[in-house]
Each structure stands twice: as C-alpha cells, then as structure tokens.
Amino acid sequence: MSGYFKEIITGLKSLAIGLQITNKEFFTKPITLQYPHESVKMTPRYRGHIELVKDPQTGTHRCIACGMCEKGCPTGCITVQAEKREGVKGKVLTAYILNFTTCSLCGQCVENCKPEAINFSNEYNLASTRREDYIFNLLQKLHPEGVPEPEIDPELLKKEREKKEAAKKEPAKKAAAKEGGESKAEEKS
C-alpha cells in the first residue's frame, strides 16, 4: 500500500517538474518565423541551383563550353549547347540547360569547371506546380534582357576567311583542310 502512494507522489512530483519547464516557455520569445512575410537569410554557401557566374570584367559568363560539368554530373541534368562562330576564339555558348528536377546539388559540376564559370546560387523560393518550371536555361537567367553577342576578333576573322579561301581553291583537299581547321579550333578551346 505504501508503495502505491509513493508512486503517486513521485509521479506527481515528476509532472510538476515537467510543467515548471513547460510553463517557463510562456515567457520566452517564440522562434517561429512567419514564412511568406519574413524569410531566413541564406548563408553565402547555401546550395541553391547552379548558376553561371557573371564576370565583372566582361559583363558576361566565363563558360568555354568544354562540357566537363555535363560529363561529371551524376544524374546527367546539364546540357551545354554551343556552336562555332566566325571570328570568335573557341566555342560560343548558346544555351545552358539545367534540369533541376534531377539535380542532387552535389557540386561535382562546380568542382569540374576549370574557368569557375558556375557556382551555386542562393535562390530557394522555387515552389511551383509545373514540372517545366524547373528546367532552367541558365544563360537566359544570367541575361534576361538578351544574350550579348560575342566580340569578333578581326584578326582571327581574317585568318579564318583566308583559310576558307585557300580551302575553296583546292577542292580536292577541301574536306581534309576543313576538318583540320576545325579540330585545331577545338584544341584551342
């Protein structure tokens, strides 16, 4: 019988101690943030989706379209589209498609990129009900007002034109010369 009362007393005591702690919380400041009205400040290292970095010198991205990010991505969510333009060294990026639905934010692409052309953004307000909203063209995101045309190097343009002329003059070697020229341009990039 005494054990029974003892249990009740210890039980009540433990409840009283618990309630004491709980009651204290009435007087502390709540830590809840009212999300749409207030938002958390993201740390600079927060990994949002990747973005092309704007080079302050040139005012555009640094991507050379080497495709290393595409190759290293575990889920294959990057597609780099580029083309060769007359008078421009290397390849010109025409679209950088990121399928964010499959991105795992691992950072392989950022690490693989030699010219440091991509980085993680701080964007996290990405809720949407449509899947297509998560397929980003990062180039468009960087230049929403329109992608600037790459600068044409007149010397290179002249050289390339001359090469073409030379190739035209020798129709027999035409194919071979053109291929050679192209692979050289690729090597440079």
Partner 1 sequence: MSSLAQSQLRETFELNIGPQHPATHGVLRIKVVMDGEYIVRAEPILGYIHRMHEKMGENRTWNQFWPNMGRLDYLSAIAYNHCYACLVERAMGIEVPERAEYIRVITAELNRIQSHLLGFGAYIMDLGGFTPLMYAMDEREQILDLLESVTGSRLTYCYFRFGGVYNDIDDDFITGTRAFIKRFRPQIPMYHKLVTGNVILMDRLNGVGPISADLCRKYGATGPVLRGSGVNFDVRRNEPYGVYPELDFDIPVYHECDSMARYMVRMDEMVQSCRIIENALNKLPEGPVMAEKVPKALKPPKGDFHFAVEAARGTFSMRTVSDGTNTSYRMRLRSPTYSNVSLFEEASRGMLLSDALAFLGSLDPVIPEMDR
Contacts with ligand SF4, residue ranges (CB under 6 A): 50, 63-69, 72-75, 77-78, 80, 103-109, 112-113, 115, 117-118
Q: Which residue's CB is nearer to ligand SF4, number 11 or number 107?
A: 107
Tokens 């502390």 correspond to what residue?
28
- What DSSP designation does 35 have? T
Alpha helices (runs of H) in 2-119, residue ranges in sequence order: 2-24, 68-72, 108-112
CB of 150 to ligand SF4, least distance (A): 14
Contacts of partner 1 in 102-161 (CB under 8 A): 104-108, 111-112, 120
State yes or no: residue 39 binds partner 1 (CB under 8 A): no
What is the rounded distance in angstroms from the CA atom of residue 47 to the CA atom of residue 2?
62
State yes or no: residue 21 binds partner 1 (CB under 8 A): yes
Q: Which residue's CB is nearer to ligand SF4, number 95 or number 167?
A: 95
> End-to-end alpha-carbon separation of the chain, Å?
90
Work out whether the CA dihedral 145, 147, 153, 158 comes out positive or negative: negative
45 is in the binding site of which of partner 1, ligand SF4, none (Cβ under 5 to 8 A by kind)? partner 1
Cα dist. 169→86, 160, 183 in Å?
Answer: 19, 14, 20
Question: At 186, which helix (H) or strand (E)?
Answer: helix 174-188
Q: What x-and-dash track marks residues 45-84 binding partner 1 by CB under 8 A?
A: xxx------------------------xxxx---------
Would you tell me which residues interact with partner 1 (CB under 8 A)?
7, 10-11, 14-15, 17-18, 21-22, 31, 43, 45-47, 72-75, 104-108, 111-112, 120
